[in-house]
A and B are shown apart, each in its own frame.
Chain A
Amino acid sequence: MMTYVVFMLTIAAIYALLAQSLVPVWGQTGMVNLGLVGFFAIGAYAAALLTKNAGWPVFIGPIAGLVAGGILGLIVTLSTLRLRDDYLAIVTLGFAEVVRIIASNEIWLTGGTDGIAGIPALFERGTGLTFHVQFMIAASVLCLAIGLLITRLVKSPWGRVLRAIRDDQTVASVAGKKTVRFKAQAFMLGASIAGLAGALYGSYTSYIAPDLFLPLITIYVFLAATAGGNTRAIGATAGAYLLVAWLEISRFIGEVIPAFSAVQVASLREIIVGLALVLVLRFAPGGLFKEKRQKAPAA
């Protein structure tokens, strides 16, 4: 039971990283990354391939996740950032699909649908609960560090430009800001964080496969960020912990009600998550931790 709680806390920290990755992109700049799960997967595969298949040191894994997420983020945005924001939504949604297709079919590299097993972790896996606690602490510290970094960036002049772009892109560019560059930076930052989360996930569970990276994860994370507040790292983090708690509670409820099959329970959970996202968007758009009005700096 203890192991289970610690396990869920680790998973929650990883979800919190994913939700935080939406703060600079969606909350601050108003861009939508509907392919979040694709960057999550890219980070997981990059770390797994380097630390398992290529035998690089384990600490390279998270760095590889960061870098791979950032590079892919740049590639995906290159073609769309000058266009209307809807194009980014379409491209990112397609991107996540294509990542899954490639991961399923390039068997020589990714193991295909069988996935990659035996991904190494920084800590000794054989120690049972100790391993889980160590990993939970590491993931939580990383989550806190990234959260503080985002909070710092949001308050900086850089963050102010992002909000200016979100609220009125024309005004921002008239004020002399290179909006495309700022948008690319924000998107890359978000994609890197998602990649980092992926690297942690694979290293923790030791196993990844294309079927773990379904579009549903993106919806989960959007729900977490919206419910907690997508403009602040603390909001996104709180939302992610709440989401994981709800997913686990609903799993227990599903097991207690014997009337439904496993497929039905799974679909009911997804129905509730989808409905919750629509309801939160409609009735609680700012989330738990609303954006604070910022005073203009004294001249």
Chain B
Amino acid sequence: MTFDILPQALVNGLMAGTVLAVPAIGFTAVFAIRGYPNFMIGAMATIGAYAGWLVNTGAGFSIWSAVAVAFVAAAIIGLAVEKVAVRPLEASGALTMAIASLAVSIVLENVVRFFFSNNLRGFDLPIERDAVIMGVRFGPQQLRNLLIALAIMASIWLILKFTRFGRAMRASADNPDLARLKGVEPVRIADITIAMGMGLCGLGGALLAIDSSVDPMVGTRLLLSIFAAAVLGGLGSIPGAVAGALSIGIIEELTVAYLSPAYRLAASFLVIILTLTFKPQGLLGARVR
């Protein structure tokens, strides 16, 4: 065990964790409002990555506008698909909706594969030198991704804290019946939450793809980490998702540095199992039994 790679692993972990927090917030928010795990998140990450890549390489959009497009594309497609294919199954129960969302995500990922094949593609990025501070390397694009993720999280916090929608959403997550009694429209809240959640997954997928590659497996690469972040933080808790994502980012990077890059996702799975066994409510979640 060598300690000289530890600072780099921790820095990488914090950066990866901050980016992971974006889709993890999306997943956990949808769970909080809709009461089922929506497995469309993987497909949404893939769609976001491709949408961003298309406008970046095809229309010359900057990285900043490309991730905005990724958010909007995933929000619109995600909401439309959820309303058409998943929500009508509400009467059959939460698990049926979860299965349907998985089926839909297979459909969406294969639509992407149909049009773009399995080839790896890359965003159009300037070639830049990594900055080295006290022996730790920082990629300029990683730092930009970090900034975007932090800005997104700050805006979500502001929206939830200070807007009417934010209060309504927190109220329905807390107690849907009471919220309805107080005049919160559940359908509107559900729509906005799904659009926001799916958009965040799209944006997260784009950020991941900027750092790696654009291909139909973007979502699959993210899926288990998102689950782990949300479960570790406490399913349904937004601050929990952030805390969970930062921890998962660090755990995964430590696994990569000290064990094997192949076992990055296996480490996340182990965290899920351990959390559910010993502290199922997660770091910041409510009771779950």
Contacts and interface: CB of A to CB of B under 8 A. Distances in A.
B6 interface: no
Contacts of A271: 106-107, 110-111, 114
Interface stretch (B97-105, B158-166, B186-194): B97-105
Interface in B216-250: 220, 223-224, 227-228, 231, 235
B99 A105 contact: no
Contact of B262 (A104, A215, A223): A104
A166 B92 CA distance: 12
Contacts of A275: 103, 107
A83 B289 contact: yes
A95 to B, nearest CB: 7
Interface stretch (A10-18, A123-131, A247-255, A278-286): A278-286
Interface in B1-46: 31, 36-37, 39
Interface string A197-231: 00000000000000000011001001100000000
B257 interface: no
Nearest to B84: A278
A273 B107 CA distance: 8
A274 B99 CA distance: 10
A282 B88 contact: yes
Interface stretch (A47-55, A262-270, A288-296): A262-270
A90 B107 CA distance: 19
Interface residues of B, number: 49
Contact of A278 (B31, B36, B85, B262): B85
A84 B288 CA distance: 7
B106 A90 contact: no
Q: Which interface residue of A85, A91, A281 has the most chain B CB atoms within 10 A?
A: A281
Contacts of B111: 267, 271
A277 B95 contact: no
Contacts of A222: 99, 103
A7 interface: no
A215 B262 CA distance: 18
B103 A219 contact: yes
A274 B262 contact: no
Contacts of A3: none
A97 B92 contact: no
B114 A264 contact: yes
Contact of A94 (B86, B102, B113, B272): B272
A135 B82 CA distance: 44
A220 B86 CA distance: 18
A186 to B, nearest CB: 15
A285 to B, nearest CB: 6
Nearest to A265: B114
A91 B117 contact: no
Given A105-B262, A267-B114, A86 B94 contact: yes
Interface in A63-82: 78-80, 82
Contacts of A104: 262
Contacts of B110: 267-268, 270-271, 274
Contacts of B37: 86, 89-90
Interface in B87-127: 88-89, 92-96, 98-100, 102-104, 106-107, 110-111, 113-114, 117-118
Given A82-B289, A105-B263, A263 B99 contact: no
A275 B223 CA distance: 21
A240 interface: no
Contact of B100 (A80, A95, A263, A278): A278
B134 to A, nearest CB: 33
Contact of B106 (A91, A94, A102, A273): A273
A86 B95 contact: yes
A47 to B, nearest CB: 23
A170 B37 CA distance: 22
A272 to B, nearest CB: 9
Given A89-B37, A282-B88, A282-B89, A94 B103 contact: no
10 contacts: A30-B93, A30-B95, A79-B276, A89-B37, A93-B102, A98-B269, A105-B263, A219-B103, A267-B111, A271-B114
Given A215-B106, A278-B107, 6 more contacts: A90-B227, A104-B262, A216-B106, A219-B102, A278-B103, A282-B100
Interface of A: 30, 32, 34, 78-80, 82-87, 89-91, 93-95, 97-98, 101-102, 104-105, 215-216, 219, 222-223, 261, 263-264, 266-268, 270-271, 273-275, 277-278, 281-282, 285
Q: Which 6 A-B pairs have CB atoms at the shortest separation, nearest pair first?
A: A274-B107, A267-B110, A79-B277, A277-B103, A274-B106, A267-B113
